[in-house]
Structure 1
């Protein structure tokens, strides 16, 4: 296996992020439930994209890029964190975002401006169209002497997934130090890259653990995640063969992507009031609520080993929309 440290990487977060037991949640469900606080990674409002961007922007720097293009929804956490990280590295961020969801000057759109990004809302539902527009604009800038890096939605490419292979290695060490055996890992899935990194990381460092992705949109993650796992495994020159049942996708989309589910609100409230932890209604709130419902069922999380919820950030959405 190739050492992860052999890949270009720039440090953008403060690691390791906290890993600890959720006392009230564990007591309620009679099960050890832990949380990995990647919302506390130290950049902007935190979130999972920083681990991906450490590798993606390091490669961009190595390629001599001075401008970074990316995309997402109007309230994209990925886009805001790309803007923040690019600013730290002295790079210009250009965000071509879908004119969908909350497009008023709220939440992440305020942060995009604070980080100095160039933002344009595109009236389309197609990322293919936006990707084509990014390529066109990048070509124009390169004719003017700039060098551009294009990062797809969510940073969900094999190199970005390596960030979460590294993340699993990090909390495996934390769990071992705390005497915790991890049996299950749960996170939100919005573009598939984090789930893929968690799955490959679990196969390498926690081979007995099951990874559950909670889909918050209707992308074909059963196809996307294995493809990303294969690509990341190729980068790391490692095998990616798992065992039957070590990965599953469940859905908690509700009325649609970026639309809060009113039935999730009590779960978001309880975690805030009992643990002081904020979840957003688009990603982490939906994932956490789905995990709690699975815990309520009892039989889903087999065995006695701990369940780990990976908090992937997204708090800015709380300042942009109602919980429902």
Structure 2
């Protein structure tokens, strides 16, 4: 296996991020519940995309790119964090977002503007149309002497997933120092790359732990996640095969992607009151709500710790009603 530290990587985040026990939550459910605070990674309002961008933008820089194109929904955390990281590196960010232009600037759109990103709204049926628009704009810039890097939705590529293999390695060290044995790792799944990295990372550094992704959209993550994990394993020159039952996808989509579920609000509010931790209604709120429901129903086997990976997204709280 290759050493992750030997791969080209730009130090964009402040790591390690905190890893600690949620005392009130653990008492409520009679189970040790820990949190990995990747919302506190030191860039913008934090989030999981920074670990991916450290590898993806290192590759872009190595390729001589001066412009970064990416996409997502109107309130995309990935797009805002890409803009933030690109600005730090002296690169131009062009965000081609899937949605209608309304003239409103709230939530992540405010951050996009603060980081100097060029933002385009495209009312498209599919992301294939969006990628076509990104390629068209990149070709226009190329004719002006610039070189663009196209990063797909969520930065979910095999190389991006390596960032979350590294995250598992990081909190494995933290757990060992705290004397914690991990049985379950749970996170939101919006494009698949983070969960893929957690899956491969668990197979390498936490054998026996089960990874559960909570889908917040209707994409076929049962296929997407293992494929991305296999691609990351190829980059690291390691085996990707695991044990039966070490990975599961569950869903908490509700009315649709980026549409808050009213039933999640009580869980979002409880974590804010009990622990002072903010969750967004698009990703982390849906994932944490599902985790709590699984704890309530006794669906998480074993007596080891459960780790919730907080993937950020707080800006969405300032852009939509919780319901």
**What is the deviation of 1:5?**
1.4
Cα distance, 1:236 vs structure 2: 0.4
Once the two structures are overlaid, the 10-residue window that deviates more, 140-149 or 51-60, is: 140-149
Q: 1:186 to 1:101 in 2, by over 3 A?
A: farther
Report the equivalent of 1:222.
222
CA distance, structure 2, for counterparts of residue 302 and residue 295 of structure 1: 9
Q: Given the alignment of the two structures, is residue 97 of structure 1 paired with residue 97 of structure 2, yes or no?
A: yes
Aligned twin of 2:38: 38
C-alpha spacing 1:224/1:321, structure 2 compared with 1 (3 Å): same
- The CA distance in 2 between the partners of 1:67 and 1:33, in whole Å, is 41
5+ residue gaps, structure 2: none
Partner of 1:73: 73
SS in 2 for 1:256: coil
Query: Counterpart in 2 of 1:323?
Result: 322
Contact kept, 8 Å, 2:101 with 2:121, in 1: the verdict is no
Which position in structure 1 is the counterpart of 2:303? 304
Partner of 2:165: 165
1: CA distance, partners of 2:107 / 2:100: 14
CA contact (8 A) 1:189 1:213 kept: yes
* 1:99 CA displacement: 1.1
**Residues 246-277 of structure 1: CA deviation (Å, up to 9, x unaligned):** 00000000000000000000000000000000
User: Unaligned 5+ residue runs, structure 1?
Assistant: none
Are 2:201 and 1:201 equivalent residues in the alignment?
Answer: yes
Q: Secondary structure in 2 aligned to 1:116?
A: coil
- The verdict on how the C-alpha distance between 1:108 and 1:238 changes in structure 2, with shifts beyond 3 A counting, is same
In the TM superposition, residue 100 of structure 1 has moved relative to its aligned partner by 5.4
Look up the match of 1:128.
128
Contact 2:213–2:250, Cα closer than 8 Å, also in 1: yes
Give the match for residue 180 of structure 2. 180
| Secondary structure of the structure 2 residue equivalent to 1:50 | helix
Q: How many residues align?
A: 323
Two-structure CA RMSD over aligned residues (Å): 1.0
Q: How does 1:271-310 map to 2 (within 5 A)?
A: 271-298=271-298, 300-310=299-309
Q: Please give the TM-score of this superposition, normalised by the length of structure 2.
A: 0.99
Offset, 1:143? 1.7
Question: Quick one: distance in 2 between partners of 1:98 and 1:268?
Answer: 26
Compute the TM-score of the two structures, normalised by the length of structure 1: 0.98
Residue deviations 1:69-100 (CA, integer Å, cap 9, x gap): 00000000000000000000000000000115
SS in 2 for 1:86: helix
**Aligned-pair CA distance for 1:7:** 1.1
Contact 1:74 1:102 in 2 (8 A): no
